[in-house]
Amino acid sequence: MFKKILIANRGEIACRVIKTARRMGIRTVAVYSEADSGALHVKLADEAVLIGPAPSKESYLVMDRIIAACKDTGAEAVHPGYGFLSENEEFARRIEEEGISFIGPKHYSIARMGDKIESKKLAQEAGVSVIPGHNEPISGPGEAVEIARKIGYPVMIKASAGGGGKGLRVAWNDDEAHEGFSSCVNEAKNSFGDDRVFIEKFVQEPRHIEIQVLGDAHGNYVYLNERECSIQRRHQKVVEEAPSPFIDAKTRQAMGEQAVALARAVQYESAGTVEFVVGADKSFYFLEMNTRLQVEHPVTEYITGLDLVEQMIRVAAGEELAFTQKEIKINGWAMECRINAEDPFRGFLPSTGRLVKFRAPAESRAVRVDTGVFEGGEISMYYDSMIAKLIVHGASRQQAIERMRDALNGFVIRGISCNIPFQAALMQHPRFQSGNFNTGFIAEEYANGFDASMVPHDDPVLLAAVAAFARLRYIERAVKIDGQLSGHGRKVTSEWVVVMGGQHYPLTVVRTRDGMSVTHGGDKTYDIVSDWSFGDQLLTGTVNGQPICLQIERHGLYYRISHFGLQVAPAVMTPRAAYLLSLMPEKAPPDLSKFLLSPMPGLLREVAVFEGQEVKAGEKLVVIEAMKMENILKADNDVKVKKIVAQPGASLSVDEVIIEFE
């Protein structure tokens, strides 16, 4: 067994590998860029080596520096994680040539399976059904349009070396095929250093289901059941679960045996994933093979009891698999939510900055948090948007959903925006709970975007009652302050009005022995018991004897509350103050229609218009790059450009003016 390994990655996956290595008694070496000098993986590793500036192409993608770090530290093996160089055949080959073990498949397996064009040909040779498409690299946008017409729209334009949703677009017409090809080429070149692109038919109403495989150097292969990955946004997975609510035992076996046959055909030695697109009739087609550890591997670990990182390390060290296919079982149900630094209420645009508060839910046998960040750390614009992965396990799918809802309630993140409200809304969506969904679920159910009204809550009066509880706790403290003028001290009244979401909730609040009793309308009573203290973002306790966990913060008269994804800001007032507030005129928001504002922090990659130009609605204005993704901003209406305020290459902040219109 290795004594020391180097992790050629960063963030959550680097921390994940370090934890298993430490449990196995293996020392670890972290590599880091200048932007990651204070990162968590650097703190956790036994040693750390600086490998370059912040951009990944100058640090995490530079093979020579990673190999030099191995030699300098005496690392015997390299774990590549996912992304970056994890599926780079040249990197694996060079590592092997240097006499260092690569904790992953052999370079020839990566070359054959990591290339999406070649892998489809090999899959056909191995008897695996594939999706119709054009499997040769495409030379330009014109050829892309021509091929798309022959295949028939809709088509999927994919970078051959792509992954993680980067270098991938769905085109429904000629314009989208032309534009999608250019975006895929640019993203692929920046993220993977390989700009080859191919096209295949986009199967409508598909499910994305993948099979986890393991192989060793002794000819042993197993499949570890399936993962359901159909809940996606912009082709990036949002929620994953294992097993799939759609797959039956017969289909599982058929998919698993095909996946193993493919792995055997390329002499695959390590953990890998064979992805399939599955139709409504349970017919399935080979999509691609990821020759690395997947982001969502924890759900498979939960239902099988195996540590996949440990298995990768043992296989790389030459050990045989210690189990057979018959010994692989399915224990309960696991679910994972990706907690990303993005604002769901602003079109899921990236959010970067400092994590002012970061408090993950308490871990247990049924709740796991994988992360590479910490409170006070920075979410950088140079890398992907993942903050953490929240994974839960239950005896059934319904129990897993309920545990995920509770865990999301207890996840406190401040300083940046995150997608927890959206994840919470998904957990409560009837269609998700039924298991009747496909990869188009988010696009269909949230076609016009996501807003607060889409977060259901079955008892808004409960939130008003909690706000009143917190307000009375503050007032009770104020009453005890010394030095108050006699006859003018703070008094505690029992009648209050909570103003929330344009509604007035009259409440009667009475102190009880263990907490407070809040009554609304004379018939709805909430007995709240909690040891919540001022300044604590989490309020835990019981309401009418049932456990509750929600987030609450005071902002003047307002109390920002988050519960099951819903975020409200109720004001707790006396009846007289609430009446006077109702008489106040509403202030109209400023007119910003004459400006194009940056909706996110990022790099202004391109300005597609010039001063004096008349632009039609739908035409491209600018391209902003953030977290390795290109975001195209288009004109909402017919406008004329008055002034270009920001120039290409500028680093933009949120709401910074880019263009002024006449």
Name the residues annotated as catalytic.
288
Cα dihedral across residues 203, 209, 215, 220: positive or negative = negative
∠ Cα 389 380 420 (to 5°): 35
For the purposes of burial, counting CB atoms within 10 Å of the CB of 213, is it exposed (0-12), middle (13-18) or buried (19 or more)?
A: buried
Residue at token pair 């902040």: 653
Distance CA 320, CA 309 (A): 15
Is the bond into 570 cis (omega within 30 degrees of 0)? Answer: no
- Indicate the helix (H) or strand (E) that contains 325: none
CB within 8 Å of 434: residues ≥ 6 apart = none
**Which residues are registered as beta bridge partners of 50?**
32
Cβ contact 298:336 at 8 Å = yes
Provide the 10 A C-beta neighbour count for residue 416.
21
Residue at token pair 């054009």: 134
Sequential DSSP letters for 148-181: HHHH-SSEEEEEEEEETTEEEEEESSHHHHHHHH
Buried/exposed code over 513-526 (b: 16+ C-beta within 10 A; e: otherwise): eebbbbbbeeeeeb
Q: Helix, strand, or coil here: 34?
A: helix
Taking CA atoms, 141 is separated from 182, 184, 623, in Å, by 7, 10, 18
- Indicate the helix (H) or strand (E) that contains 223: strand 221-233
Cβ contact 471:559 at 8 Å = yes
Distance CA 52, CA 68 (A): 12
Helix axes 116-125, 107-114, angle to 10 degrees: 90
Q: Helix, strand, or coil here: 98?
A: coil
Query: Tokens representing 219?
Result: 């000819």
Residue at token pair 């095929």: 177
Cβ contact 174:182 at 8 Å = no
Distance CA 660, CA 662 (A): 7
Instruction: Sort strands 133-134 and 197-201 into parallel, antiparallel or unpaired.
Output: antiparallel
Nearest to 1 by CA among 68, 77, 74: 77
Residue at token pair 């925006």: 417
Helix axes 249-265, 116-125, angle to 10 degrees: 110
Distance CA 469, CA 190 (A): 52
Nearest to 467 by CA among 503, 424, 496: 496
Instruction: Please provide the size of the chain in residues.
Output: 662
